[in-house]
Amino acid sequence: MCGIFSLREGVFLDKYVIRGGRPLYGELEISGAKNAAVAIIPAALMVEGVCRIENIPEISDAGMLLTILSEMGARVRAVNKSTVEIDCTSVRGEGAPYDLMRKIRASYYLIGAMLGRFGSAKTTMPGGCNFGVRPIDQHIKGLTALGAQIEVRGGFVYASAAESGLIGSKIYLDKISVGATMNIMIAAAKARGRTTVENAAREPHIVDLANFLNSMGADVRGAGTDTIRINGVDKLHGGTYTIIPDQIEAGTYMAAAAAAGGKVTIKNVIPKHLDCISAKLREMGVEVDEYPDAVVVRHTGRLLRANVKTQPYPGFPTDMQPQICAVLCLAEGTSVVTEGVWDNRYKYISELKKMGAEVQVDGKTAVIEGVPYLTGAPVVACDLRAGAAVVIAGLCARGETVVEEVSYIERGYQDLVGKLQSLGADIRCISESDAYSSAVV
Ligand code: EPU
């Protein structure tokens, strides 16, 4: 598995081999939240001093962002596997590695961070998982309202503020956007005066970014509601911050335990962040017990059907849609899933169908006829959460499932294979060299 600094870019040759049909028993620890880490690491660029960031997940998206900062001149030191010290004091805003930026969606946070710190930014148009059109018009709208001039040309984003810097402003987002909300928060942290973001996203990682910025001396209020106020400060100073546990990683193991059956204790979670997932699983007949920082998921027998609609937080998260679809494939009766955030997040359904799932997709709706069992097959991880969905299906399927292109999964799940193995799953990762050596023996 990759360490924080390992990129594994371009490695599409590893495979997971899963022999399904084993219930999951045991306990595991959830890692730091990916979508908080990928905003907090770029936000460290706003800070003059050492940011010690704890609970960074060991995933390739975090590794890529740390490498980008380091190539820009930041001093980045791994204290241990999940703690990093970042000192961006002497970064001058040049030398960004555009080839790396292009590979990761969250590189858009560098626009806000560079603009806020240096008054100008040049970044690539962001990459990331492909769910149809992924515009950044709300980021541009927000940063423009702060006085930046922004131009998108030839695959690059060029942004510049007036010589006097960014100026606080009132911004109403036309669409609830996690990325735009966070980008504006980062840029506005050192703008002159007050910025107000209305119709802001409310995800747990929005609150986490606000807490990070505040612990470095910023003045951000209202994160977690739909109105966020940022009073600009002159300078952000160093400090220590611990990233929250990953809501979606926890939800993924909850879904896996529901589908495969068994009893799993998921530790280091914030149960409140899992409310909508726990409620949906209970509706499906799964027992979910909550403790102060753990949930226990227990299930045997057939699951009940359910309808799911994804929405911005506190609604059911779009980043759990593929995983819950995989679970519903095995539920008794017909379930209807409606994707309320992205235009095209059902590409993976064709992979589940290879395993015997009965699903019809029409636009943003998937109608799932539950089947009594799935059958192992060779499948592809189309993107991060789609990858998690086919792994869940593989854990329940009869026979062997081989999942290809697992580098997508490693972008966002720390040691998925090791954590599932610790619960008794029969899953292993075969790398290209292993495949070669077993072929030549
Ligand atoms: N949108 C616009 N204009 C914008 C920005 C977004 O129209 O300027 C639209 C999008 O097309 C989408 C909706 O608004 O229909 C929500 O997009 P949002 O900006 O909230 O998404 P994001 O910031 O690009 C983050 C996560 C995604 C997660 C979404 C929604 C990161 C790096 N990515 O993306 O996470 O699906 O929020 O919660 O934080 C994942 O982890 O698997 C993942 C894809």
Best residue among 111, 134, 321 to mutate for probing ligand 1, ranked by most atoms within 8 Å of CB: 134
- Please tell me if the CB atom of residue 180 comes closer than 6 angstroms to any atom of ligand 1: yes
Measuring CA to CA, which residue among 248, 258, 353, 352 is closest to residue 310? 248
Alpha carbon of 179 to ligand 1 centroid (Å) = 6
Among 2, 51, 88, 129, the active-site one is: 129
Known catalytic residue at 325:
no
Alpha carbon of 342 to ligand 1 centroid (Å) = 8
With b for 16 or more beta-carbon neighbours within 10 A and e for fewer, the 99-118 pattern comes to ebbbbbbbbbbbbbbbbbbb
Burial of 324 (0-12, 13-18, 19+ CB in 10 A): buried
Could you please state the CATH topology (level 3) that the domain comprising 4-31+245-440 is classified under.
Answer: UDP-n-acetylglucosamine1-carboxyvinyl-transferase; Chain (3.65.10)
SS3 for 303-326 is EECCCEEECCCCCECHHHHHHHHH
Measuring CA to CA, which residue among 107, 105, 124, 174 is closest to residue 145? 174
pLDDT, position 135: 87
pLDDT, position 434: 54
Residue 167 DSSP symbol:
B
Measuring CA to CA, which residue among 299, 311, 373 is closest to residue 337? 311
Helices (H), 81-159: 98-101, 109-118, 137-145
Per-residue pLDDT of 271-321, as tens digits, reads 999 999 999 999 999 999 999 999 999 999 999 999 999 999 999 999 999
Whole-angstrom CA distances from 384 to 6, 199, 267, 414 are: 17, 27, 22, 12
Best residue among 133, 175, 247, 382 to mutate for probing ligand 1, ranked by most atoms within 8 Å of CB: 175
Chain centroid to CA 289: how far?
Answer: 25
How far is Cα 269 from Cα 30, in angstroms, rounded to an integer? 7
pLDDT, position 94: 80
Residue 203, token pair as written in the block? 């995800």
Give the residue, by CA position, lying nearest to ligand 1 atom 24: 179
CB 107 within 8 A of CB 45: no
- Please tell me if the CB atom of residue 318 comes closer than 6 angstroms to any atom of ligand 1: yes
pLDDT, position 86: 98
- Please tell me if the CB atom of residue 129 comes closer than 6 angstroms to any atom of ligand 1: yes
Give the count of alpha carbons within 13 A of 125, CB side only: 11
How far is Cα 203 from Cα 225, in angstroms, rounded to an integer? 9
Give the residue, by CA position, lying nearest to ligand 1 atom 37: 178
For the chain, what are the domain ranges? 4-31+245-440, 34-242
pLDDT, position 11: 46
Secondary-structure class of domain 34-242 per CATH? alpha beta
Cis peptide before 314 (omega within 30 of 0): yes
What residues in the chain have per-residue pLDDT under 70?
1-12, 127-133, 433-441
Task: Could you list the beta-strand ranges (E) of 107-199.
Answer: 120-124, 149-153, 156-160, 170-172, 194-198
Best residue among 174, 276, 338, 341 to mutate for probing ligand 1, ranked by most atoms within 8 Å of CB: 341
Q: Kindly report the pTM of this predicted structure.
A: 0.95
Alpha carbon of 319 to ligand 1 centroid (Å) = 10
Packing angle, helices 34-43 and 204-215, rounded to 10: 30
- Please tell me if the CB atom of residue 137 comes closer than 6 angstroms to any atom of ligand 1: yes
Would you put residue 73 in left (φ > 0), alpha (ψ -120 to 50) or beta? Answer: left
Give the residue, by CA position, lying nearest to ligand 1 atom 41: 319
pLDDT, position 433: 61
Measuring CA to CA, which residue among 10, 15, 248, 244 is closest to residue 127? 10
- Please tell me if the CB atom of residue 138 comes closer than 6 angstroms to any atom of ligand 1: yes
pLDDT, position 133: 63
Q: Do domains 4-31+245-440 and 34-242 have the same CATH topology?
A: yes
Give the residue, by CA position, lying nearest to ligand 1 atom 35: 319
Give the residue, by CA position, lying nearest to ligand 1 atom 15: 342
> Which atom of ligand 1 is the closest one to the Cα of 141?
8
Residue 294, SS3 per DSSP? strand
How far is Cα 69 from Cα 82, in angstroms, rounded to an integer? 17
> Which atom of ligand 1 is the closest one to the Cα of 383?
42
How far is Cα 405 from Cα 407, in angstroms, rounded to an integer? 5
Best residue among 64, 177, 208, 277 to mutate for probing ligand 1, ranked by most atoms within 8 Å of CB: 177
Give the bridge partners for 265, in sequence order. Answer: 27, 296
How far is Cα 46 from Cα 26, in angstroms, rounded to an integer? 42
